[in-house]
Amino acid sequence: MELTDSRDIAADRQTVWNALLDPDVLKDCVPGCQEMSGSVEDGFEAVVVQKVGPVKATFKGQVTLSDMTQPEALTLMGEGKGGAAGFAKGGARVRLDEIEGGTRLTYEVEAKVGGKLAQLGSRIIDGFAKKMTDQFFTRFQEVVEGPAEAETALEGAGDAPDDKKGWLKRRFSKS
């Protein structure tokens, strides 16, 4: 399964780049991620629980980053084993381009599965992979940009201006 798309994120390219390298951000964005540890240099170890059709599995695996050109592009590669359910592996080539008002994040995703998961059929697997990819990049955009204006207005009435930034922006602006 291959998927290509892009998202315009209302944040500068360096902020988006930093978020892509942050294990806490990745953990928050990967659907079903229970644990994420490691570093950019050594790779990340993750535990992800997912249900694909009738098959529910806990995947334990590795995520590595390569082909890094700061702050323009990188490749994320992941592989996980889900015991009797089989395995999943794939990668995403991510490119960041400066645009007016932020950063355009373009991605090309490729995913493969084996074992019981592969027996579900390509229609179910392709639909699941697209859903996971959309959820990851939607959540990534939300984390980087912070809460929507309407949510901020409701939650932040009377708060200091700094509280209107998303948690990621607050984190990197204090560093």
Name which of 81-85, 116-120, 165-169 the model is least confident about.
165-169
User: Could you read off the pLDDT of 12-49 as tens digits, one per residue?
Assistant: 999 999 999 999 999 999 999 999 999 999 999 999 99
Distances in whole angstroms, Cα of residue 125 to Cα of each of 6, 113, 135: 21, 8, 15
Written as six digits, the tokens of 165 are 């930034």
CA proximity to 118, closest of 92, 89, 77: 89
Contact between 165 and 171 under an 8 Å Cβ cutoff? The reply is: no
CA proximity to 95, closest of 84, 113, 108, 114: 108
Give pTM, 2 decimals. 0.79
Distance CA 14, CA 121 (A): 40
Average pLDDT on 138-156 reads 70
3-class SS of residue 43: strand
pLDDT value, residue 124:
85
